[in-house]
Amino acid sequence: MQIQWDDSQPIYLQLRDRVQNMILEGNLAEGEALPSVRNVSAEYKLNPITVSKAYQLLVDDQLAEKKRGLGMFVVDGAKNKLLQQERELFLNTELPALLRKLKRLNITREELLDALDKEESDNG
């Protein structure tokens, strides 16, 4: 897992987002253990407190759970919960912004659909 840290937000939030993406992409399955705090902090040269803080956010969001003596695990339903959150974010925030930009650029529905069709055929 190659990670590029940036200054746009704290590292613990970036790490939380990365773990969430791993769950969404199926790289971390429900019921699977998260990499240990020690391993993550050593591999990415992070303070263990930073990693613990990211993991605690996952627990707070009910995406992970601590099992005493065993570590942290992805909870059942985490992927669906994240997918629902991502869909709501897209539909309520990102899509309206995109639609405003399309209107500002005078891109017609037909042009948009043609571009989507082309993208689909190029990647399909």
| Residue 12, token pair as written in the block | 């613990």
Question: How far is the C-alpha of 25 from the C-alpha of 94, rounded, in Å?
Answer: 20
Residues 87 and 109 in one domain: yes
Q: Of all residues in the chain, what percent carry a pLDDT higher than 90?
A: 90
- Whether residue 1 is contained in a domain is answered as no
| Residue 107, token pair as written in the block | 């891109």
What average pLDDT does the structure give for the chain? Answer: 94
Residues 26 and 65 in one domain: yes
Residues 57 and 109 in one domain: no
- Whether residue 4 is contained in a domain is answered as no
Residues 68 and 85 in one domain: no
Q: How far apart are the first and last CA of the chain?
A: 26
On whether the pTM is more than 0.85, the answer is no
Say what the pLDDT of residue 2 is.
61
Residues 42 and 63 in one domain: yes
Is the model's pLDDT at 58 over the cut of 80? yes
Task: For the chain, state the CA radius of gyration.
Answer: 19
The pLDDT tens digits for 98-107 are 999 999 999 9
Secondary structure class of 83 (helix, strand, coil): helix
Say what the pLDDT of residue 45 is.
92
For residue 42, the enclosing domain spans 11-76
Say what the pLDDT of residue 114 is.
93
Residue whose pair of structure tokens reads 């704290």 in the numeric block: 10
Average pLDDT rounded to a whole number, residues 82-109 = 95
Residue 73 pairs in a beta bridge with 33, 65
Residues 86 and 56 in one domain: no
Residues 49 and 92 in one domain: no
Residues 98 and 65 in one domain: no
Residues 62 and 92 in one domain: no
Is the model's pLDDT at 73 over the cut of 80? yes
Say what the pLDDT of residue 3 is.
75
